Structure 1
């Protein structure tokens, strides 16, 4: 491939996978646009980077989250962009409050909410699947987990969409830049108000738990608390909304899969894992080289910015056989969407639980899910893979 691939081109956004397959074959580590960052496309190379935070720093993410036009962004101060030893301290403190028990306690609330949303979806028959189920369920989950005002749930996605779009906004798009600047200011102001209220009125919620968390007598600072809540709102929504939206798109295009899942509900866990692999909601993450090094036969200078293309790694033929096909019941270990190593996503169990509960509420009550024949419209983001809208018609069982 002579010309650099542009990860924001309409062709790539619409269907990145044939282009990624070509890069894996011909140029597995190469410079791409925008910005001439180094794309890493093969599974083995991606894993090599993720396993070596000393040589490949997470500070590479800061540049994508905090461009010069934006300035201060609490998300760029979260544990997502920390290296050891700071990362270990922050993760230990947050883990004190964000436990498997915390997530498990959400299940009854999630089931009640999912059943109510499916009732409304079936009553209307023709809906935007994202607005009808994929968005309101995780928004309610995050809101319930954090003890937030339910009337603000619709604003959460508006905020998270803007944060997810940062790396795709050009230096000349002043309107979008101003929108993101306002979002960061609004989120920071709102979350600081939430923290202050919980200090005065602690409750049985994640925010109160974070305020109380201590490791060797040390608590999270105000800035660390705000940064984590930014991360939870953005990643907690985007991951599950796009996982559910991508799952619904696959079921609409592959009615035999829907029929099989209705007949064999035990395959639902396998289906969710294959969606995560095949149409990963998290497509990319960034790293920064701390010294000159070689990767995939290519010499990388110190301070090179790498974009690890997780969606490509998940389809790598050297890692998973027949990776370009969706295979229900696949036995191979398959997905990287929640990261690996020290940065494996704390919210992975919650995202999987939300997806399972939503589909368990929906699938027994429908015979079919169809959509219009036009091509899906995807968010123009480097880091996420998700639909802008998904109009569907539902056939009740």
Structure 2
């Protein structure tokens, strides 16, 4: 297989979009790692995501349970399930991420964002936006949701990284040992949390999930553990990278940056275009359940499909001038949070966190710029965002 078709090569991780364009031109192709079949065109991606009978979410579960990892509850979680089990589990947890729940959370998120902005602007010279702001906002919000002690929050990002990087498929033996220990400690953390909330319920998400539903049915311990494992990377990585990718994009488009800093009302449309142009979620995996044909290509039963969401969002057949960032692009349906039965439960929360975080930050900034032209991107097949983002900040009211 040509090296150019390796999704995890350093060149591709630095800039995957030329490879995505090549795949859209040539159609469905096998790629590395693992000889997976890459689905890159918008219409084909929608077809796969809407058909859990032929394209099972168990494929995503396979990616999160490599042979060297004896146990990983996320591999049996909601996002790895097909109907009817998926339908029951999703219905049970969906209300915890609805508009009413988010309305209660909004002032708390705004307070966290305001505090992080004040701390960020205390720095002189350049500051790493990732470690000082983008990381802390979703981690603190998730800690708030779960009812964790504040001192436990910093560990959440490392656990989320270890989970989201599993499908990359390249872990040397020493890294395998570290990840096994990391996920064991995560499971212990959640075991203690569940035990505490059973004994003393509160008003957090875990306490809500432990209560019976309207029919008196309760989630099993394994279902609860799997949901919490899946919530961690979904609740942290998506928002961290959405915040960071937004600032990366604006750093490269000074006219749009000036417009948004002057008019925060543009933030919702800015975020929608960033979600299309430089989305935090780049791919998902599906397992082919029967010999099937897609766009003239035969996919054998048992083969693994990598669904390239980020490629579909640059599909020139669907988005005019697709490789160009356009702040004023007419809003249309996109796939940044998935499609079909597995549309992201936390999409509203991610949008809310990103908007409130950027509102707080931009209200105190006259301008910002990158302190380094070079970026190093997370080694993940599933998600995309920079490992660090050093910025020079120009506050609206400079410190005396």
TM-score by length of 2: 0.96
1:205: which partner in 2? 204
**How many matched pairs?**
395
Deviations 1:118-157 (A, max 9, x none): 1111111421101111111111111111111111111000
Please list, as runs of the form range in 1=range in 2, the aligned pairs for 1:154-193 lying within 5 A after superposition. Answer: 154-170=154-170, 173-193=172-192
Segments of 5+ residues of structure 1 without an aligned counterpart are none
2:385: which partner in 1? 386
2:279: which partner in 1? 280
The secondary structure found in structure 2 opposite 1:124 is coil
Aligned residues of 1:93 and 1:215 also touching (Cα < 8 A)? no
Q: Hey, what's the Cα distance between the residues in 2 that align with 1:215 and 1:73?
A: 30
Q: Hey, what's the Cα distance between the residues in 1 that align with 2:226 and 2:167?
A: 18
Please list, as runs of the form range in 1=range in 2, the aligned pairs for 1:137-148 lying within 5 A after superposition. Answer: 137-148=137-148
Q: CA deviation at 1:290?
A: 1.0
Deviations 1:7-35 (A, max 9, x none): 11011000000111111012x21100010
Aligned residues of 1:92 and 1:215 also touching (Cα < 8 A)? no
2:357: which partner in 1? 358
1:72: which partner in 2? 71
Moved more, 174-183 or 304-313: 174-183
1:57: which partner in 2? 56
Moved more, 130-139 or 259-268: 259-268
Please list, as runs of the form range in 1=range in 2, the aligned pairs for 1:318-333 lying within 5 A after superposition. Answer: 318-333=317-332
Deviations 1:297-330 (A, max 9, x none): 1011111110000010011001111110110021
1:11: which partner in 2? 11
Deviations 1:311-370 (A, max 9, x none): 100110011111101100211414212111110111000000000001111112111111
Deviations 1:57-107 (A, max 9, x none): 100112110010112100001011000000001111112434322222111
Deviations 1:31-50 (A, max 9, x none): 00010000000000000001
Q: Hey, what's the Cα distance between the residues in 2 that align with 1:21 and 1:334?
A: 20
Runs of 4+ more than 6 Å apart: none
**Cα distance change, pair 261–98 in 1 and its aligned pair in 2 (3 A):** closer
Aligned residues of 1:243 and 1:276 also touching (Cα < 8 A)? yes
Deviations 1:217-261 (A, max 9, x none): 221000100111111111100000000011111122222222101
The secondary structure found in structure 2 opposite 1:105 is helix
1:83: which partner in 2? 82
Alignment of 1:313 onto 2:312: yes
Aligned residues of 2:97 and 2:349 also touching (Cα < 8 A)? no
Segments of 5+ residues of structure 2 without an aligned counterpart are none
1:271: which partner in 2? 270
Alignment of 1:196 onto 2:195: yes
Q: CA deviation at 1:215?
A: 5.4
